[in-house]
Amino acid sequence: MLIDIHAHMITPGMMNVHEFWGPFMTTNGFTVGHFCLGTSQPMSGTDEEATEKLLTKMRHESRRKLMADRNVDKIVVSIPSHAFMYWAGDFGNEYADLCNQELSNYCAKDPEHFAFWAHANLADPTAAVKQIDHAVRNLGAKGVCVGGANFNGLEAHSPELFQVWEKVTELDVPIMVHGYNQSIWLGDDHTSDLFETTSILGDCYDESLFFWYLICGGALDEFPNLKTYITHAGGMSLFQLGRLNALNKSMAPDARNKKPVTEYLDKFWFDLDVHATTLRKAVIDLVGVDNIVHGTNFGGAYDFGDPTAGLDLSNQDAEKIRSANAIKLLKL
């Protein structure tokens, strides 16, 4: 069995909701406010045709076909990271509520193949607590997806967010960490991010920041049962783990963690979303097979095929990565 827990989803009801924030699909790409994830070479056709093309890819039958082609049995979906709306004021709360209902409705039509991560507006922690509680208890969410850094000025170490970590721990569901395009904050100057650096490189940096801030802020001492899955193999956190561990006290004396950084590693789960077999082996060697899950941004820019191929794993260990760890972590 193969379960991919990193897959993004947008429904018709999540599009064209706000006159400025959208989100919209245009011939230039996915658009939120001034920001556009796209190209300087627009696709042919109209904005309406671009929207229909995107939504066609998201329909149950299209996704199931791609899943069958890639031998994936189930996916766990979350909203696109460009649409987190932490920066959108009151609309951020409205959009979180709407997205959770939309994702719940989508998955309820085919629960054998689809489950979802809740969305919450972490820029408003009190509202986020209510959104997560409702999404998990009443709508069937398996956890909550959050951006890697910068929730409208709040960060994973911020005391204001501890009520969110407390609620997630109380519900016994994991956090999924996915960076987002920080160039959205640049307003109409977002085009200065010429090569989409705040996504292509920035996602991994944001995810590493979350790892660092959650530990240094003392959240894992306050909430030792908090469980966190970090996409893209943890960003850069695992590959610089020795440096983070060594410099945590000597160069970051205000860090509030009570144990060395490496002693919190068992509180995190990682996927193998790195593009070399040797790096995947290194991630498994460092983390241990019990804390590895399968996540690929399903339906995105690339397809890894069998995530355990070439890793010299036993059948039992391979099956942990393919599905068993995800089933246990998300209670699928």
Instruction: Give percent above pLDDT 90 in the chain.
Output: 81
Burial of 68 (0-12, 13-18, 19+ CB in 10 A): exposed
Asked if 313 and 299 count as a contact pair (C-beta separation under 8 A), the reply is no
Inside any domain, residue 107: yes
Distance, CA of 205 to CA of 90 (rounded, Å)? 27
Which of 115, 75, 123, 83 lies closest to 99, judged by CA? 83
Inside any domain, residue 110: yes
- Say which CATH number the domain at 98 has: 3.20.20.140
Distance in angstroms between the alpha carbons of the first and the last residue of the chain: 13
Asked if 321 and 293 count as a contact pair (C-beta separation under 8 A), the reply is yes
Asked if 293 and 327 count as a contact pair (C-beta separation under 8 A), the reply is no
pLDDT at 39: 65
pTM, rounded to two decimals: 0.95
Distance, CA of 136 to CA of 100 (rounded, Å)? 10
Inside any domain, residue 16: no
Burial of 98 (0-12, 13-18, 19+ CB in 10 A): middle
List, for residues 117-167, the tens digit of each pLDDT value. Answer: 999 999 999 999 999 999 999 999 999 999 988 899 999 999 999 999 999
pLDDT at 195: 83
Question: Please, which residues have CB within 8 angstroms of residue 60's CB and are 6 or more apart in sequence?
Answer: 106, 109, 110, 113, 114
Inside any domain, residue 34: no
pLDDT at 187: 67
In the structure encoding, which two tokens stand for residue 155, read together?
Answer: 């960060």
Residue 38: Cβ within 10 Å count: 17
Number of domains in the chain: 1
Asked if 128 and 158 count as a contact pair (C-beta separation under 8 A), the reply is no
Inside any domain, residue 309: yes
Total residue length of the chain: 332
Residue 89's domain comprises 3-10+44-330
The CA-based angle 232-11-15, given to 5 degrees, is: 100
In the structure encoding, which two tokens stand for residue 139, read together?
Answer: 């709508």
Inside any domain, residue 29: no
If pLDDT is split at 50, 70 and 90, which confidence band does 38 have?
confident
